[in-house]
Amino acid sequence: MARAVSTNRKIGFTVAAWVVALLIFFPILYTIITSFKSETEAIAGFSLIPSGTLESYAEVQAQSNYFKFFLNSVIIAVGSTILALVVAVPAAWSMAFSPTKRTKDILMWMLSTKMMPAVAVLVPIYLIFRDTNLLDTRIGLTVMLMLINLPIVVWMLYTYFREIPGEILEAARMDGATLWGEIVYVLTPMAVPGIASTMLLNIILAWNEAFWTIRLTTTNAAPLTAFIASFSSPQGLFWAKLSAASTLAIAPILIMGWFSQRQLVRGLTFGAVK
Amino acid sequence: MATRQTTTLARFMMAPSVILLFIWMIVPLAMTLWFSFLNYNLLNPANVSFAGLFNYKFFYTDPAFFQSIWNTLVLVLGVLLITVIGGIALALLLDQPMFGQGIVRILVISPFFVMPPVAALVWKNMIMHPGYGVFADIAKFFGAQPVDWFAQYPLFSIIIIVAWQWLPFATLILLTALQSLDGEQKEAAEMDGAGFVSRFIYLTIPHISRAVTVVILIQTIFLLGVYAEILVTTNGGPGYASTNLPFLIYRTALLGYDVGGASAGGIIAVILANIVAFFLMRAVGKNLDK
């Protein structure tokens, strides 16, 4: 008897959860569906069944060279992440394995730089970029996003590295491992998962950053965030084209995001919730 | 001697991060502070003079200033209210036994990965558009007059969009906290005859209170800076009805070319953010000691 009741409850929870989940996911789903409609179809009233045409995708590419913006997004997001890792890995490493009295203060200070509102430094950054000819360049934006996300990268790496037990190093040393051997054979394999998760989350954050990417670019270095924002003053029918551009812009990051749910919690709460 | 060597090496390894972040923090902020005391207009860059506190006074007496502060607060509090209450409810639901839990989870967290311009434009055009949006379709189906959301309720519409983006974040973090609740404790409470409500009040709430604090503080930091969602939907309007502080600063700086005024606004934004940051740092710092 008790089992039957609990199965009923489970079915009830299942129905409730699926309804809520589909409602939340609906705007994304509807965007994907609309991207496979023609423009006249898209405004012809509510319909969940598209004709399956790919003309919107073709038009977005033909009219605005969509691929250029996509490539800019990839270069800026991946480039800033790699740069940040190069700088952050040694820092997080030393803080995790040879902490001093000041390690905690340095970490807290790094976190505090993340609290600075972007608009507060919009004017000086804009002027610096203008005077050094960095406006609308990929390199300028890459460095910018690297600096913005550096505190999160250091923090995330630190929380991962801290979980590598120090005793394992002692054991390796007892077995006669050299410093090089320690790093290559013992530490690196244990650190790689943490570095990979950090990388994943940081690419997501950089890909979706929508203040500096919009304000510091015009055409040449504009990533997808800036391209999509340009749809806010549209000419003519554009529902299906907006949907196609949006679907392509969010698909890669959505899939990456699904794989990094856990890391997201950890990274965005600075290790406060695991 | 080995220790001194390691310390030197550790410093050397930390140096690039520390130096970069130090420059990134100090230089632009110092420039903003300096500009905030100047008469400096980008249209007339040759004519820069010292203004004292004039920019602050100007910003302070501008009627748009108080409206933008008010809008900032309404936006932050509105989104927090929706996401925290909705997040707790959703996390409790997702924590129950069900079929296809993994897929449900993926569907629920997805909006968080949608870039702000896409989220805002999809809501503006496909959901809330008074002619072709889904809401309008629903209204027409029931024979009601469709609502022109962004003209009639601009700030509320933006709150809805931003809340949609952040609800997954709150849910995911609260769910993670819920799942670390000891199952035995729950069972013991159940055996002692505690109902759902009393279990929720005496067991669940205390357990997730820290996660709730973290959600509120982190979201506040990001919500104080909402920008792209406003840019692509209402552009701050009608009038100043949906202009928040970041948007007002952007308008002053890049549309009004007023470097001094925008910088004064920037300093005010820094002060606001610092008040929140102070509490966040304490919450995170406590965790470091453990």
What is the per-residue pLDDT across B1-19, written as a single tens digit (0 to 9) for each?
Answer: 345 666 777 788 888 888 9
Residues in Cβ contact with B268 at an 8 Å cutoff, skipping those fewer than 6 apart: B56, B59, B245
Q: Do the Cβ atoms of A108 and B9 come within 8 Å?
A: no
Does the ipTM surpass 0.90? Answer: no
Per-residue confidence band for A271, with pLDDT thresholds at 50, 70 and 90: low
Residues 103-132 of chain A with CB under 8 A from chain B are: 104, 106-128
Closest B-chain CA to A253: B113
Query: How would DSSP label each residue in A247-260?
Result: HHHHHHHHHHHHHT
Structure tokens, A73: 């997004």
Contact between residue B253 and residue A122 where contact means Cβ atoms under 8 Å apart: yes
Burial of A133 (0-12, 13-18, 19+ CB in 10 A): exposed
Is A19 part of the contact surface with chain B (CB cutoff 8 Å)?
Answer: no
Chain A residues with beta carbon closer than 8 angstroms to that of B265: 119
- CB-CB contact of B135 with B127 (8 Å): yes
Distance of alpha carbon A10 from alpha carbon B230, whole angstroms: 41
- With b for 16 or more beta-carbon neighbours within 10 A and e for fewer, the A72-93 pattern comes to bbebbbbbbbebbbebbbbbbb
Region of B114 please: left (phi>0), alpha (psi -120 to 50) or beta: beta
Of residues B106, B95, B83, the one with CA closest to residue A260: B106
SS3 of chain A: helix, strand, coil, percent, to 5: 75, 0, 25
pLDDT greater than 70 at residue B226: yes
B108 and A271 within 8 Å at the Cβ level: the answer is no
In angstroms, the CA A184 to CA A172 distance is 12
Q: A177-207, pLDDT tens digit by residue?
A: 777 777 777 777 888 888 888 898 889 889 9
Give CA–CA dist B54/B31, Å, rounded. Answer: 17
**Whole-number pLDDT of residue A236:** 60
Give residues with Cβ within 8 angstroms of B49, minimum separation 6: B38, B39
How, if at all, do strands B49-50 and B38-39 pair? antiparallel
Q: Phi and psi (nearest 5°) for A48? A: -95, 0
Torsion angle in degrees (nearest 10) through CA of A89, A93, A99, A102: 0
Residues in A closer than 8 angstroms to B272, CB to CB, are 117
Contacts of B176 in chain A (CB under 8 A): 262, 265, 273-274
Task: Give chain B positions within 8 Å (CB) of A113.
Answer: 21, 24-25
Q: Do the Cβ atoms of B173 and A265 come within 8 Å?
A: yes
- What pLDDT band is residue B288 in, cutting at 50, 70 and 90? low
Average pLDDT over residues B138-158: 89
pLDDT tens column, B195-208 = 778 888 888 888 88
In this predicted structure, the answer to whether residue B168 has a pLDDT above a threshold of 90 is yes
Q: Which structure tokens are listed for A101?
A: 């009295």
N- to C-terminal Cα separation, chain B:
30
- Beta carbons of B93 and A123 less than 8 Å apart: no
Split at pLDDT 50, 70, 90, the class of A220 is confident
Q: Residue B204: helix, strand or coil by DSSP? A: helix
C-alpha distance from residue A244 to each of A38, A44, A82, A209, B83 (Å):
11, 17, 29, 20, 29
Q: Is the N-terminal amide bond of B168 cis, ω within 30° of 0?
A: no
Chain A nearest CA to B121, separation (Å) = 7
Residue B49 burial (10 A CB sphere; 0-12, 13-18, 19+)? exposed
Chain A residues within an 8 Å CB radius of B228: 210-211, 214, 225, 229
Total residue length of chain B: 290
B174-198: pLDDT as tens digits: 998 888 876 777 778 777 877 778 8
pLDDT at A61: 85
The mean pLDDT value of chain B amounts to 85
The overall average pLDDT reported for chain A is 85
Which residue did the predictor score with more confidence, A184 or B145? B145
- Using CA atoms, how far residue B289 sits from A104, B282, B284, B286, in Å, is 9, 11, 9, 6
A40-56 pLDDT, tens digit each: 787 777 878 888 788 88
Euclidean distance between CA atoms A195 and A267, whole angstroms = 12
- Mean pLDDT for the stretch of residues B88-114: 90
CA distances from B172 to A87, A126, A199, B185 (A): 30, 36, 20, 22
Is 1.10.3720.10 the CATH classification of the domain at A66-268? yes
Amino acid B1: pLDDT: 37
Within 10 A of B107 (CB to CB), how many other CB atoms are there? 23
Backbone angles phi, psi at B218, to 5 degrees: -65, -45
How does pLDDT run across A62-109, given as a tens digit for each residue?
888 888 999 999 999 999 999 999 999 989 888 888 778 888 888 888
Lowest mean pLDDT segment, chosen from A109-118, A258-267, B172-181: A258-267
Half-sphere exposure of A53 (CA within 13 A, CB side): 15
- Cβ neighbours of residue A62 under 8 Å, at least 6 residues apart? none
Topology, domain B38-289: MetI-like fold (1.10.3720)
Counting DSSP H helices and E strands in chain B, the numbers are: 14, 2
Q: Please tell me whether residue B47 adopts helix, strand or coil conformation.
A: coil
